[in-house]
Amino acid sequence: LMVKEIVNYSICITGAGGSIGSELCRQILLLNPKKLILIENCEFNLYKIYEELKIININNIKILPILGSTNNRDLLIKIFEENPIDVVFHAAAYKHVPLVENNPLQGIRNNVNSTKNLCEISKFYKVKKFILISTDKAVRPTNIMGASKRLAELVVQAFQIEISKKELGNQSR
């Protein structure tokens, strides 16, 4: 992790109660962020990681657990409006290949649309850094889950290119 981009910054972790998201929460909390915003759509997983973080939160960092989906644009806008965020770790995703294969539209909606939502909102609210947690299955994908994660990667890359072009245009003026 980029320690200098976490210490005293507001960090948002999507999929905070999942296997990857919860480990990010634990590790990032130890790096003294100013605030840790947890977004998770599973109540039990959010409760579990929040309770664990409260125990290990020796520096009294503000932890804000938010129950909801990254597909809910209105919720995301409210979160970003009320909590200036410096860094987003986007770990929210459907990752179980057999379930996504049986529910391809939900897999695409969750993995691609939620990423697009977060990119748009992060851009609007001038988030300093956006990190997508992807998967090795996105490399030459052979299934819907891998393809949905590859599309999510392409969405993030497209936003980065757009932001870079805008920054270059502003510098030449």
CA pseudo-torsion sign 1, 44, 137, 141: negative
d(CA 55, CA 16): 16
Q: Which residue has the tokens 């819907």?
A: 144
CA distance 17 to 42: 7
Tokens standing for residue 82: 């009320």
Whether this model's pTM surpasses 0.75:
yes
Pick the catalytic residue from 137, 149, 165, 166.
Answer: 137
Spatial distance between the Cα atoms of 82 and 42, rounded to a whole number of angstroms: 22
| pLDDT-wise least confident of 16-25, 91-100, 139-148, 156-165 | 139-148
Mean pLDDT, residues 85-100: 90
pLDDT at 66: 98
137 is catalytic: yes
Model pLDDT, residue 96: 84
Q: Is 159 left (phi over 0), alpha (psi -120 to 50) or beta?
A: alpha
- Summarize the confidence of residues 57-79 as an average pLDDT: 97
Q: What is the largest CA-CA distance in the chain?
A: 51
Order the strands of the 129-132 sheet from edge to edge: 62-67, 35-40, 10-14, 87-90, 129-132
d(CA 1, CA 28): 8
